[in-house]
């Protein structure tokens, strides 16, 4: 994803990595660590703002699984943050938690979310201004294991960076069909009534994922 962003646009990309040792400890610890990671990201943005003149309105955070909630925490502590993209935000220990403790649309000016494994690893409830559920959002085509469906979210987003094909999801509000673009080129809905819509779309089971 980093490489594609740098190839396609004039971006500065900062990669926030998790210590690999978290895989060896109980899951509840990295869940708690999302708060720490989020605060560190917020502190970094503040530092770049004070020292380099960075405008939070130019910052777009992209996080997968636990990283999506870490991005949410960062947004809660960064006034004026422009955008957060949540890629299949983690479900265990986050489902139905208060919005103060999970990704939510108030965490940035624009929050878009791609749900790809609501069956097990990804949160099912809407979290953003735009919530997309490719192939129903539960399991993805050509995926046997949940980890494959869980990872499909960032694969779809990565493809949206460079693909000439547009990922378009549609949903219903008051018996009217509304549609929106999923991925890097997603735009915040102009109406607050559109925030609770679930946008559905179909993809292929292998890259290129966007059906022509």
Active site residue 65: yes
Cα separations (Å) of 62 from 15, 59, 143, 159, 160?
Answer: 10, 10, 23, 14, 13
How is residue 9 written in tokens? 């646009």
Active site residue 88: yes
Catalytic residue (choose from 112, 115, 150, 160): 150
Closest CA to 167 of 114, 90, 108, 88: 114
Active site residue 150: yes
How is residue 199 written in tokens? 């946008």
Instruction: Locate the DSSP E strands across 12-109.
Output: 60-64, 83-87
HSE-CB for 198 with a 13 A CA cutoff: 12
Catalytic residue (choose from 64, 65, 149, 151): 65
Catalytic residue (choose from 64, 69, 88, 131): 88
How is residue 119 written in tokens? 């069956």
The residues that are catalytic are 65, 88, 150
């Amino acid at each position: 994803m980093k490489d594609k962003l740098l190839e396609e646009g004039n971006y500065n990309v900062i990669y926030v990595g998790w210590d690999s040792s978290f895989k060896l400890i109980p899951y509840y610890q990295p869940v708690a660590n999302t708060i720490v990671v989020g605060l560190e990201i917020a502190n970094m943005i503040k530092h770049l703002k004070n020292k380099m003149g960075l405008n939070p309105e130019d910052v777009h955070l992209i996080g997968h699984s636990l990283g999506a909630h870490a991005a949410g925490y960062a947004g809660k502590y960064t006034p004026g943050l422009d955008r957060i993209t949540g890629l299949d935000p983690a479900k265990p220990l986050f489902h139905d938690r208060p919005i103060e403790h999970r990704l939510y649309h108030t965490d940035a000016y624009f929050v878009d979310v791609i749900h790809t494994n609501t069956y097990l690893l990804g949160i099912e409830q809407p979290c953003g201004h735009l919530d997309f559920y490719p192939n129903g959002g539960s399991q993805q085509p050509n995926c046997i294991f949940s980890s494959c469906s869980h990872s499909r979210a960032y694969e779809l987003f990565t493809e949206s960076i460079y693909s000439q094909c547009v990922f378009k999801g549609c949903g219903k509000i008051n018996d009217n069909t509304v549609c929106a673009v999923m991925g890097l080129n997603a735009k915040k809905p102009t109406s607050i009534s559109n925030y609770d819509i679930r946008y559905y779309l179909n993809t292929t089971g292998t890259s290129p994922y966007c059906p022509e």
